[in-house]
Amino acid sequence: MNAAIDGPRLAPASGTARKLVVLIHGYGADGNDLIELGGQWRNRLPDAAFVAPHAPGRIPGFPPGMMGGRQWFALDAYDPNLLRRDPHQTAAVYATMQRAAEQAAPALEQFIADELARNKLGPADFALVGFSQGTMMALHVGLRRDPAPAGILGYSGALLGSAGLEKQIRSRPPILLIHGDADEVVPIEAMHAALHALNAAGAPARFHVSRGLGHGIDGQGLSLGGAFLAECFARAR
């Protein structure tokens, strides 16, 4: 899982990269699934370069040659219906996923370092944006970096390893979590649990609930996310 990774890129609208946005896709997708977010945000963030790495893992049995089919880590133990029926199982399931995220993290960390160097940027001149499993990776990596990223934006995700976060956290960047209250894949309770753990660890997290939205990103979430990133980069100047 630590092999070198790559993915699609979007150059900054201004022609000069002063910031970087790393878009981390969810389970079963690849970088092409999220790079279009950069297209939506380029005018609001004219000095930002965008990149969306493909996760290094392939999902077993996924048809070869088809786009997508990538994973940051396996989800064999994940069953959202079980978590709804028995929330007490959540801690054990997330602990297993946390160990897997720890194994996937070095490849993503190296990719971020390489992209910052490619764009001649400093170690804090970037923001992380994740969707679903990508949010899990963004929170895992971003909270353990020093210096901190400019911000972390997470859609439809969860915080893994919350029990040990206060001992592992190394930075407290601004965080915005956006989640649909009809999410059938990652229950919205995951967002509320993440907020509780982040606040307990002193991380400045806020949230938005998209009413009636399932596992996805709606127009309001897209707009709020772009505004949040602009705010984070303005603060980091």
Tell me which residues are annotated as active site. Answer: 132, 183, 215
Q: Are 38 and 21 a contacting pair, CB within 8 Å?
A: yes
- The SS3 call for residue 14 is coil
Give ∠ CA 151-228-220 in degrees, rounded to 5.
135
Helical (H) or strand (E) element with 115: helix 90-118
Residue type, 36: E
Residue type, 170: R
Q: Are 197 and 165 a contacting pair, CB within 8 Å?
A: yes
Q: How many helices (H) and strands (E) does the chain have?
A: 7, 9
Pairwise CA distance, residues 209 & 180, whole Å? 6
Pairwise CA distance, residues 113 & 121, whole Å? 9
Q: Are 30 and 68 a contacting pair, CB within 8 Å?
A: yes
